[in-house]
Amino acid sequence: MDKVSIKFFEKLMATISPSGFEGEASQVWAAEARTFTKDVWRDQHGNTYARLNKGGAPRVMLAGHIDEIGVQVTHIDEKGFLYFGPIGGWDSQILQGQRVLLCTKRGRVPGVIGKKPIHLLKPDEREKAVKLDDLWIDIGAQDKKEAEALVSIGDPGAIDANLVALPNGRYVCKATDDKAGAFVVLEAARLLAKLHPAAEVVAVATVQEEIGLRGATTSAYALDPQVGIAVDVTFATDFPSMENDKKRFGDIRLGKGPVITRGPNINHVLFGLLQDTATKKKIAHQIEAEPRGTGTDANEIQLSRAGVATALVSVPNRYMHSPVEMICLEDAALAARLIADTVMSINAKTDFTAVL
């Protein structure tokens, strides 16, 4: 991966974009898209689009959700402590003791998530899992008036955790789920801009996936694609305690390439094209079985209008929905290449109605 793409990845990961408040990340994504296409726009829901070869056939949608899980201020008490609700699915055990950044009209406001110290807990309390109601955000305010001068009810926020590079091309960040996917679809579009596909290609940074796949619903309806490829992260199973779970979730490893999903949420022809392309182009890849809906944007894309030939390509991710989500950047780079090469094999005559 070249320096331009790595710089884009780092800049995107530094943004804060809880579901419903994706503007900061979307602006970074759109600015990068404009370096290789002028056909970039944003809809009133917040989805951002980058199109290549308008009028080509078929229309192919590449979707990666740009939102992350976060928090939202729900109450400010008389002492200036902030109470909050979760945006998306949090493990409350992870939130305690974390630093956060709140996005306000005045800019970013730092704070910490506090709870009663273990020394002050009763023996039976130490055995219980902490609940979100037992946590608060401390921004250092002396009272409610001072807190309200900095923060407003409804302000969103996210964990304050910088991107960290580790050995073997591995990166740790609070929100590779799924800014890695938004990154991949735009990198695939960047490659396709040089390859000149027969298809019309629209990369989409979708919003509000973490609270119900909402952006994929509206953007797929608006675009009316014939083909859709969603890109998300998937659970790596290559860390301690996962040996028995591989029977359920498969043997998915960091650094072994992107993951191609197979199951009822996936069009059989499109799956075959992805797998055949990976084999022909010698792109390292992994296969994941999902006997139900995938719980990703692929769900909504497949069911849009009269149905869309849909696939899911994923980047293996350790420690999902935590401040230390880990991916291998090479897996993301290969995912972009796999998608671009597969799209190049699609034209107006490609039949996606073939049965298994």
Which residues are part of the catalytic machinery? 209
CA–CA distance, 330 with 335 (Å, rounded to integer): 8
The type of residue at 135 is L
Cα distances from 126 to residues 37, 94, 132, in angstroms, run: 56, 16, 15
Q: What is the DSSP string of 74-93?
A: EEE-TTS-EEEEEES---HH
- Positive or negative, the CA dihedral 5, 6, 7, 8 is positive
- How many of the other CB atoms lie within 10 Å of CB of 222? 16
CA–CA distance, 18 with 26 (Å, rounded to integer): 11
Q: Are 100 and 137 in contact (CB under 8 A)?
A: yes
Give 334's DSSP letter.
Answer: H
Residue 282 has φ and ψ, to the nearest 5°, of 55, 45
Place of tokens 């730092």: 110
Q: Are 61 and 229 in contact (CB under 8 A)?
A: yes
- 115, 57, 63: which is closest to 84 by C-alpha? 115
Q: Are 24 and 15 in contact (CB under 8 A)?
A: yes
